[in-house]
Every structure is written in structure tokens, then in C-alpha cells.
Structure 1
Amino acid sequence: MKKLLIMLMVLVMALVPVACSSKTPSTQPTEQSGGQSSEGASGYDALKPVVLIGADNASMGAAAQLFGELVSKKVSEITGGKLTVEYYPNSQLGNDQELQSQMLAGDIDFVVCQTAQTVNFVPEVAIFDLPLVFAKYDAKTIDYALNKSPFFDKINEAYTAKNMRVMHYLQAATFRETTSNKKISTIDDFKNLKIRTMENQNHMAFWKALGAAPTPLPWSEVYVSLQQGLVDAQENATDTSAGANLQEVQKYLVLTHHILYCNQFLINNSKYESLDPLYQAALQQAVNEAAVEIEAKLATIDTENRQKLANGGIEVIELDNAFIDQMLEKAQGVYDSIGKAIGQEYVDTLQNALQNPQ
């Protein structure tokens, strides 16, 4: 009997390490494709699949569409299909203001759009309406100021207070330009120019300061309005103008450089915070990688679209520094009113970041 008990004790002691080892996962990562460890892969495997809904109001082939679609593709690849996007480009779900309203209501999750109409939701975004504020700087300097400097953190506080979060400002030191059926040779030629603008009070104030007659219209109505002479001109990035074939209804492209052509990746902040940190990181990685790819192409896209407009019969008019200075002088009141409305500290923080890049 005693011998039997000893044999049983030996058997139990032999089995204990086996049992323990079956409950203890290996801490050594296994190499995976793309450098991902098994720990990272199992992290996504442990999460429930999530589908985000994204949209833009851009013209076909414009930067916002390219950016949104590339982010959607990349985030699915990064997460192995666990975080995916249903993406609706080209105003399928509405214009910029409607899309941002839907995002705040939780009907869609993210929007890729320009900054102008965000001012209606986040007044501090009017900082981007300062005429010609970015005109003297290159893309690298502007990228630092907008995405990597203290200005980015400060402006995001204003977004998150309204349940939005900006994840990136996409730009390449290209600008909103002016197309017109009236030739602009002197500052006085802006007088009484009927120009379509976005529904943005600061944009309209700038054109009024030049003596023009700004007229906000939905983008979908611009081509017909130009064709029928209801307005004389419009202002937009060259990819938007070329994508809408405005060379068919406009005579001149005036390189006014008045507003930075900048698309923002906006997400509903409650939705963002509801995502697992792994998904948050994957989305930011997708945004960053897509931005690098698209921004590298934007200057070329701008040049190609200028050429497309010129090939369609539009005359390109370049403005010299003296002309730009005249525009700035007339627009000084817009600088004063924006600084007063949103707080001069926003203006100072942006200008400091532009003047002192790290």
C-alpha cells in the first residue's frame, strides 16, 4: 500500500509541470509578414470586427476622394480586415456641411473635407481663412505647423469640444485659385465680380474687401450658374476645377493663392474614443501612410490640372508679389476680425509654428 501511494505521488508531481506549461503562453514573439509579432496579430484576432462609414464631397479624382479611399484600403490591410470602411465619395451622402452634421449625429463616422465649412461647427477653424497666411511657406514647413507643432494640439482642443477630432491636415503648399470669365489684371478688376464662394462668412468678407460680390452656392449648381452667367467666377483648387470641367465655362485661371488647399480627416470623437486602442492606432497609421503617398502627388496633380484647364482654352494669369501685397492690404480687416473672434492666441500659435519650424 505504501509503495502504491509513493507511485501515485511521483505521477502527480510529473504531471504538474505539464499542466502549468499548458496554461502559460509563450512570451517569445513569432515573426509574421510585415514584421508583426504573434502578440500583435492575436490582438486584432481578439477584437470584434468594426465597420466605419466615411464620406467626402469632392469632385471625381480630387485629393479628398483619393485620401479617403486610400485610408480605407490601408486600415483594412493593417488590421487584417477587422477594421473596415464603407466609403462614399463625390457627394453621395451630401455636401460638406451635411456630411459634418451627419457625422456629429453619429450617422457616419468620418469625413474628408476642406476646412471652410467646419467653421460653422468649430469657430476656431476660421484660422485657415486668414487670406494668404500660408503663401510664403513650403509644404514641409506647413506640415510641421499643422500636424506636428503645438498648434495641432491647441486646435484639436477646439474640435474635441464639439465632438470632432482632426487626425491629419492634408496639403502640399497648393492653393485655392480663382477661375473667371472676367480678366483680372489689376486689383480694381475684382470690383463687382460675382464670384461663387463656400458658405463661409470669412471667405465672403475677403472677397467683399477686394470689392467683389461673393455668392455662396452649392457645388452641384456651380457649373450651370457659370454657364448661364448667374455668377462670373468661382474659387477652388485646380483639381476640383478641372474635375468639374470648368474650362468649358470659364476663360481665365487667376493664381490668387488666397487660401491653402487643405483637406482634413475628421472623425466623430465619441466614435474614435469607443474604438479599441489597437484600432485607434491602426487608423492613425493608415491616415499617416496615406497622407505621405497622396501629399507626394499633390504638387504634380496641381500642375497637371493647371495644364488641363489651359489645354481646354483657359488663360492662366500669374500675380506678382506687388499684387499679392495689395490684396493683403485690403484684407487686413479680415485678419483683425478673425483674431478678435477666435482669440489672438490661435493666430499667434500658428504664425509662431510657421516661422519657427522644428
Structure 2
Amino acid sequence: MKRKMIFLLVMVITVTLFVAGCGSSTNQSTGNNTDNNAGGASEEASITLKLGFSTNEEDPRAIAAKQFKEEVERNTNGSVEVQIYPSGQLGGDAALIEAMALDSGTVDIIITDASNFATYEPKMGISALPFQFASFEDAWKFMDSEIQAEVEELLLNHNMRVLAHYDNGFRCVTTSRIAIESPSDMKNLLIRTPENPVIMETMKSLGANPQPLAFSELYIALQQGTYDAQENPIPVIYNNKLYEVQSNLSITNHIYSGMCFTISDSTWSKMSDSQKAIVQEAATKSQAYNRELNKRQTEELLTKLSDAGMTIIEPDLTPFVEETKSVGENLKSLYGDLIDRVAEWQSNN
């Protein structure tokens, strides 16, 4: 009997210790899960941003985009990765804008001329009216103005959110045969333009025959003689070696090309507040870097284009200004009171 009592006592103690051990193990495991869950909640979801544009990696927009990438990835500790696709790898300017508007997922950020968005929102062409700005600084001031911001708000209806303004410079005409010294030299000139209503209307007002073509196809088209001419800012002409297939450069400076650094609004909504703040700050910093770089290249590369064999023409721009005055009037039905507001803004600035 005594042995039975001892045996039962040992069994009770053993079972008690076993149950207590299981309970402790369970509590400890639950505690670890709680800690892990808390840690997971504090970690931000990773996201990859595909950034595309039409020009090559030598272009100031590409160089500034690399700075943007480094800044974002460093300050988000890698939770936001930026993949850069230059040279129209994801499509030309028109295709990139369409992909973003359709929320196709092909691209998350695009860098292209503000007026290229006019195919979706006509008022976006207001910054590209001919001979509107006398200097880089004047143009930058307008791109950062309330008028431009008001117009860009309309892009949100098309899944596009502008974060910053890059600089593409003042557009100039290059030709393979006739040198452009006056508007009469432009008559019936088959000239490549982007699919941009303001630029095309400007070329028509000068008597030219504008035909749109993706930038990625431009070099070959000029090489084969499909087009007589094209128009682009000096850094674009040099960095993409258009001097190899064009012999004359006329400093017409007919349109300022301010670019919009634009993110898909649906992509924007997927980021945390802290990620958004970092992306916005990096875009703003890269804007300042791009502008100064593009201005410097515009000044420096003209000599290099001459050294490369191009004939540089500096025509009297007065007749060009006169011939293009009709552009604003022809587009007034699209812009409403914007033209008058811009004129007032210019008189006050």
C-alpha cells in the first residue's frame, strides 16, 4: 500500500511538471510570435519603381535619374528599388504616357516633356508655346508656378502625378541639306517632331511639314533620309549623336521644353507615407541637379557640335517670332483664359 502511494505521488509530480513545461513552452512560443508579428508590422512593404524615358544614358535626365535612384534606395534602406530603363526600352514618349494613363504596370515613373501630355490633357501644352521664355531661369520659374501646378492637377484624372520638373532646354532645328536662316527656309520641310500638338502646330506655322516619330527611331530615319530635319535641344542633339546624320544646326530656340518627372498615381498610393516623403525629396533634389547640368551642357556642347562638323547658324529670330504668333491664337479654344493668365504672370515676373 505504501509503495502504491509513493508511485502515485511520483506520477502526479511528473505529470504536473510536464504540463507546466508545456505551458511555459507554449507561452514562450506565443511571445516570440507576438514579437515577430510586431516586427513584421513595423517593416515597410518593398516596392520596385520602373523609371523610363526615351533618351540615352548620356542625357542629363538619365544622369539625374541615377542620382534619384541612389537617394531613394539609400534612404529607404532598400524598401524602394528604382530600375532605370533609358533609350525607349519601355516605349517612346507617347507610349510611356499611354501606358501610365492605362495603368498597365509597364512603367511607374516617366520623364518627358510637359507638352507631350497634351494628348491627354490639352492644357499641359501651355508651357511650350513658342518664344515664351527668354532664359532658363524664366522658364524654371514658370514651371514651378501656381499656374503650372494647377494644370498638372488635371493629370491626376489620368493616373499621373507630377513630382518634379526636369529641364530639356530650348529646341533648335537641325537639317541634312538646307541651312535654316529664315522661316522661308522651313517651307515644306519634312521635319520629325514628337507626337506633340504644340510643337507640330509651331512647325506648321513656320511652313514646315511635321511628322511625328518615336525618338528611338529618329537616328535611323535621319540616316536613311526619311526625314529632312528634326528639332531638339542641344544636349539631346549631341548626346544622341544626331550630328552624325545632320549637317546644320540653327539656334532657333523656338520652344522651351520643361519636363515632368511623373509617377503613376496608383503606384504612389501603394507606398507608405515615409516612402512617399523620401521619393518626393529625392525627386526635388534631382530636379535642381538636372537643371544646372542641362544648362551647363547647352553652353558647352555647342562648341563640340561645331568641332564635330556641324555648321552652326544663328538666325535673326524676329521673323520666326512673328510667324509663330498664330499658334497661341489657334490653340486658345483649348487653353481658355490660360494664355491671358500666362501673359499677366510674365508681366509681373
Measured against aligned partners, the alpha-carbon deviations of 1:158-211 in whole angstroms (never above 9, x if no partner) come to 111222111111128x31111112112232111122211112233222112111
SS at match of 1:257: coil
Q: Secondary structure at the match of 2:72?
A: helix
Are 1:158 and 2:154 matched, yes or no? yes
TM-score (norm 2): 0.81
Gap runs ≥5 in structure 1: 1-41
1:288-315 per-position Cα deviation (integer Å, ceiling 9, x unaligned):
1111222222122112322222111101
The 5-angstrom pairing of residues 252-271 of structure 1 reads 252-271=248-267
1:78 corresponds to 2:75: yes
1:81 alignment partner AA: G
**Partner Cα separation in structure 1 for residue 341 and residue 165 of structure 2:** 16
- Answer yes or no: is 1:215 the counterpart of 2:214: no
Partners of 1:102 and 1:168 in 2: how far apart? 20
Change (3 A) 1:65 1:351: farther
Identify if the C-alpha distance between structure 1 residues 209 and 246 changes in structure 2 by more than 3 Å, giving closer, same or farther: same
| Alignment of structure 1 residues 119-268 onto 2, 5 Å | 119-134=118-133, 136=134, 138-147=135-144, 149-171=145-167, 174-181=169-176, 182-268=178-264
2:273 aligned with 1:281, yes or no? no
Q: Aligned-pair distance for 1:94? A: 1.0
Please name the residue that 1:356 is paired with.
Answer: 348
Which residue matches 2:306?
310
Q: CA deviation at 1:130?
A: 0.9
Q: Secondary structure at the match of 1:171?
A: strand
Question: Residues 182 and 315 of structure 2 are in contact (CA less than 8 Å); yes or no, is this contact kept in structure 1?
Answer: no
Match of 2:321 in 1: 328
Give the percent of matched residue pairs that are identical in Structure 1 and Structure 2: 27
* Residue 6 (structure 1) aligns with: none
Secondary structure of the 2:153 match is helix
Q: Which has the larger radius of gyration?
A: 2
Residue 88 of structure 1 is matched in structure 2 by 85
**Secondary structure in 1 matching 2:112:** strand
Give 5+ residue unaligned stretches, structure 2.
1-38
Equivalent of residue 48 in structure 1, options 37, 45, 67: 45
How many Å apart are 1:248 and its aligned residue?
1.7
Deviation at 1:45, TM superposition (A): 5.8
Aligned-partner Cα distance in 1 for 2:94–2:183: 32
1:84-109, CA deviations, whole angstroms, 9 ceiling, x for partnerless residues? 21221121111111112222324121
Does the 8 Å contact 1:127/1:338 carry over to 2? no
Per the normalisation by structure 1, the TM-score is: 0.80
Assess if the C-alpha contact under 8 Å between 2:54 and 2:216 holds in 1. no
Quote how far apart the aligned CAs of 1:54 are: 1.4
Are the counterparts in 2 of residues 55 and 89 from structure 1 also a CA contact under 8 Å? yes
The answer to whether the 8 Å contact 1:115/1:264 transfers is yes
1:347 to 339, 344, 347: 339
> What are the residue-to-residue correspondences of 1:64-75 with 2, within 5 Å?
64-75=61-72
* Cα distance in structure 1, aligned partners of 2:200 and 2:109: 27
One-letter code aligned to 2:121 = V
1:110 deviates by: 1.0
Distance 2:288 2:270 in 1: 27
Aligned-pair distance for 1:257?
A: 0.5
Q: Secondary structure at the match of 2:253?
A: strand
Question: For residues 267 and 195 of structure 2, what CA distance do their matches in structure 1 show?
Answer: 27
Residue identity in the other structure for 1:348: D
Tell me the residue number matched to 2:24. none
The residue identity in structure 1 corresponding to 2:125 is A
Report runs of 4+ in structure 1 exceeding 4 Å deviation: none
Counterpart of 1:281, as a letter, is A
